[in-house]
Amino acid sequence: MKAFIVERYRKDGLRAAEVPEPELGDGDVLVRVRAAGVNPLDSKIRNGEFKLILRYRPPFVLGHDVAGVVTRVGPAVRRFTVGDEVYARPGKDRIGTFAELIAIDQDDVALKPAALSMQEAAAVPLVGLTAWQALVERANVTAGQKVLIHAGSGGVGTIAIQLAKQLRATVATTTSTANVDWVKSLGADVVVDYKQEDFATVLSDYDVVLDSLGGETLEKSLTVVKPGGLVIGISGPPDPDFAKEIGASTFLRMAMTLLSRRIRRQAKRRGVRYSFLFMRASGTQLRELTTLIDAGHLRPVVDRVFPFDATLEAVAYVDQGRAKGKVVVTLD
């Protein structure tokens, strides 16, 4: 089958190739890919930024979001049958959605929302699960709380704004001048145009910050949360709790402790908390998102759709950092 593989860890290390069809485990479903989402994470993995944490051995198929049709099921599968339209973010050890077929553990799969096309559904899993695990699972956002979501026009931001509003939070976001009105239409109550203002000077007393940018933005985010508040970073640095979560080696635990020491110390001095989130696959949480989507409460934003043969161009477009919402490749 045709796929796009990381041949080596470098910016030009992704290429088209013919690879064997995936083997099907007892609890797996084999999905014929109809569409696949493209994420900044794909580029980071291609570039080798996570190779100490995620030990993929090149060559391997890239891609983290999929929508498609079940073509075969393992003998232990009970939730799905051949012909089901599904979507998923495969487990971190089994990525590979930039391909014609992928085998996925049934626990990581959900039926596709009826309200969405295949291309729209492929835009949901990674960013939807990230938003859910940050705002619902980790932060336990409740009505009346104040939530700041950075990069509101991005893939995570567009879903997180909508989800936070469903949780009845007051939502602030950061974006560029051109997208101010647009993120307001998604539900943002307060919009900071980062080209005109510094969010750290105009926002205060927030309960939760979801940061996808890292660096200086992450450090400034510590200053806008109230005592006891929580800053969740999805760009890093990874912290000791994450090392424990993935069962990291002693060396990796020490490395993550050192990498996050500065930001954790800054958080402690301010009486706030920092937490690193690397989202995990979950069919159960996807079903929760499906309920919201089919009820009309959430809607993915798709910036551009590329043909599968143009996957390299799709990844390059995402690398520019200008997409509004998600970019998708389609095999239709």
* CATH number (domain holding residue 107): 3.90.180.10
**CA proximity to 121, closest of 299, 316, 288, 325:** 299
Looking at the structure, do residues 117 and 231 belong to the same domain, yes or no?
A: no
Mean pLDDT across 175-182: 95
**Cβ-count burial 294-304 (b if 16+ within 10 Å, e if not):** eeeebbbbbbb
For residue 247, pLDDT beyond 90: no
- 288 belongs to a structural domain: no
Inside any domain, residue 6: yes
Say if residue 158 is in the same domain as residue 243.
yes
Both 134 and 208 in one domain: the answer is: yes
**Arithmetic mean of pLDDT, 11-32:** 97
Q: Are residues 115 and 137 in the same domain?
A: no
Whether 154 and 105 map to the same domain: the answer is no
| Model confidence band, residue 179 (pLDDT cutoffs 50, 70, 90) | very high
- Count of structural domains, the chain: 2
| Mean per-residue pLDDT, 119-132 | 98
For the chain, what percent of residues have pLDDT higher than 90?
A: 91
Q: Given this model, what pLDDT does residue 332 score? A: 83
**Mean pLDDT value of segment 294-302:** 97
Enumerate residues 6+ apart whose C-beta is below 8 A from 93: 54
| pLDDT at 186 exceeding the cut of 90 | yes
Q: Looking at the predicted structure, is the pLDDT value of residue 99 above 90?
A: yes
In this structure, are 226 and 308 located in the same domain? no
Identify the domain containing residue 251 by its residue range.
Answer: 126-276
33 and 117 inside one domain: yes
By C-alpha distance, which of 301, 279, 306, 315 is closest to 138? Answer: 279
Q: For residues 95 and 62, is the Cβ–Cβ distance under 8 A? A: yes
Could you tell me which residue, 249 or 19, shows the higher pLDDT? 19
Does residue 284 belong to any structural domain of this protein? no
What does the pLDDT average to over 123-144?
98
Report if residue 290 sits inside a domain.
no
| 54: pLDDT strictly greater than 90 | no
Task: Note whether 234 and 255 are within 8 A (CB).
Answer: no
* Two structure tokens written together for 308: 């599968």
Q: Is residue 285 part of a domain?
A: no
Question: What local confidence, expressed as pLDDT, does residue 141 receive?
Answer: 98
Do both 177 and 235 map to the same domain? Answer: yes
Amino acid at 115: A
pLDDT at 248: 84
Residue 203 lies in a domain: yes
What is the mean predicted confidence (pLDDT) over 245-253? 87
Specify the CATH number for the domain of residue 131. 3.40.50.720
User: Do residues 171 and 305 both lie within one domain?
Assistant: no
Last residue of a domain, one of 235, 260, 276: 276
Whether 101 and 151 map to the same domain: the answer is no
The rounded distance, in Å, linking the Cα atoms of 223 and 227 is 10
- Give the HSE-up count for residue 113: Cα atoms under 13 Å, Cβ half-sphere: 27
Strands across the sheet with 14-18, in order?
14-18, 2-6, 60-61
Q: Are residues 257 and 187 in the same domain?
A: yes
pLDDT of the residue at 53: 83
Q: Is 191 part of a structural domain of the chain?
A: yes
Confidence band, pLDDT 50/70/90 cuts, at residue 63: very high
- pLDDT for 145: 98
Q: Indicate whether this model's pTM tops 0.95.
A: yes
Residue 322 pLDDT exceeds 90: no
Residue 227 in domain: yes
Q: Are residues 180 and 307 in the same domain?
A: no
pLDDT at 89: 98
Mean of the per-residue pLDDT values of the chain: 96
